[in-house]
C-alpha cells in the first residue's frame, strides 16, 4: 500500500510503498478514506514526547483520526463485515480491563492508539485491534472527511461539554484556545444552545470560531 511515512524526527514525510497490514488481535484492517491531522502528530513528529515514554520506532506511519471501510476481518470479530463504513476512535481499548469495563476506554491499561503504537491513517490501510469493542458505525449520511475529525478532537470536546460539564441551553461557555478541540467545543456548545465566547490570541482561529 501507499503511505506517508515518517522516516526521521522532524524530517519531511515520504510517500512510498510499505507492506500491507494484517488484522491485529481481534481486529480488522480499515481502508482509510479520510484522516485528520492532529497536534499530537506534530508532537510525535517533533520527537518531544520521549519524556512520557513515547518514542516511535522508525519508520512509522502516523494518523489516529481516521475513518473508512472495513477491508479485512480477522479471527474473533463478530460485529463487523467487509465493506462496513466505520469511524475509528483514537481511544482504542482492549475491552477487558476495569477501565474499559466501566466505559472508560480512553484510560485503558493498554495503550493501543493506531498511529501511535501501530501504523495509522496516513497509510491507505490501517489495522485496528479489538474491533468489536472500539469501532463505531458510520452512517451513509456522514461523509468521510467530516467523520475523520470525530474520533479525536470532536469526541474529546463532546465528552467534556456533554458528559462532564453537562452544558445546557442558555448557559455561558468560554472556550480558551481555538485549535481542533476548541473549535469543536465552539460548535458543540452552540448546538447545545449555549452562549459561546471563543478566546484565542490568533486572529485566523477566531475567524474560524
Query: Which residue ranges make up the site for Zn ion (CB under 5 A)?
Result: 38, 40, 65, 93-94, 97, 100, 108, 152
Least distance to Zn ion, CB of residue 102, Å = 10
Q: Which is nearer to Zn ion, 65 or 71 (CB)?
A: 65
Cα-Cα end-to-end distance for the chain: 37
Shortest Cβ distance from residue 9 to Zn ion (Å)? 19
Q: Of 2 and 101, which CB lies nearer to Zn ion in the complex structure?
A: 101
Q: What is the spatial distance between Cα 23 and Cα 202, in angstroms, rounded to a whole number?
A: 42
The residue among 68 and 93 lying less far from Zn ion, judged by its C-beta, is 93
Which of 101, 134, 122, 114 is CA-nearest to residue 26? Answer: 134
Phi, psi at 207, each rounded to 5°: -65, -40
Smallest gap from Cβ 208 to Zn ion, in A, equals 17
Residue 50 is classified by DSSP as G
Nearer residue to Zn ion within complex by CB, 100 or 131: 100
Smallest distance, Zn ion to C-beta of residue 110, A:
6
Phi and psi, residue 173, nearest 5°: -130, 125
- Would you say 71 or 94 has its CB closer to Zn ion? 94
Provide the minimum distance between the beta carbon of 161 and Zn ion in the complex, in angstroms, as a whole number. 17
- β-partners of residue 35 are 66
Q: Please give the residue whose beta carbon sits closest to Zn ion in the complex.
A: 38
State the Cα–Cα distance between residues 209 and 206, nearest whole angstrom. 5
CB closer to Zn ion out of 23 and 63: 63
CB of 82 to Zn ion, least distance (A): 26
- At which residue does the C-alpha cell 474491533 appear? 131
Q: Which residues of 39-65 are buried (b: 16+ CB within 10 A; e: fewer)?
A: ebbeebbeeeeeeeeeebeeebbbbbb
Amino acid at each position: 500500500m501507499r503511505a506517508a511515512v515518517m522516516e526521521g524526527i522532524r524530517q519531511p514525510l515520504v510517500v512510498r510503498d510499505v507492506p500491507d497490514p494484517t488484522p491485529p488481535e481481534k481486529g480488522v484492517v480499515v481502508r482509510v478514506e479520510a484522516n485528520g491531522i492532529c497536534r499530537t502528530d506534530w508532537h510525535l513528529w517533533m520527537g518531544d514526547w520521549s519524556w512520557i515514554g513515547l518514542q516511535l520506532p522508525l519508520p512509522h506511519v502516523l494518523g489516529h483520526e481516521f475513518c473508512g471501510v472495513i477491508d479485512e476481518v480477522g479471527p474473533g470479530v463478530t460485529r463487523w463485515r467487509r465493506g462496513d463504513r466505520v469511524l475509528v476512535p483514537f481511544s482504542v481499548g482492549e475491552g477487558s480491563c476495569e477501565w474499559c469495563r466501566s466505559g472508560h476506554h480512553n484510560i485503558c491499561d493498554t495503550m493501543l492508539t493506531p498511529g501511535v503504537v501501530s501504523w495509522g491513517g496516513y497509510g491507505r490501510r490501517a489495522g485496528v485491534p479489538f474491533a468489536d469493542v472500539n469501532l463505531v458505525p458510520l452512517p451513509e449520511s456522514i461523509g468521510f472527511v467530516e467523520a475523520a475529525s470525530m474520533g479525536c478532537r470532536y469526541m474529546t470536546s463532546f465528552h467534556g461539554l456533554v458528559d462532564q460539564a453537562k452544558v445546557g441551553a442558555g448557559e455561558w461557555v468560554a472556550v480558551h484556545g481555538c485549535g481542533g478541540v476548541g473549535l469543536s467545543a465552539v460548535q458543540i456548545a452552540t448546538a447545545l444552545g449555549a452562549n459561546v465566547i471563543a478566546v484565542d490570541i490568533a486572529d485566523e482561529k477566531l475567524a474560524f470560531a
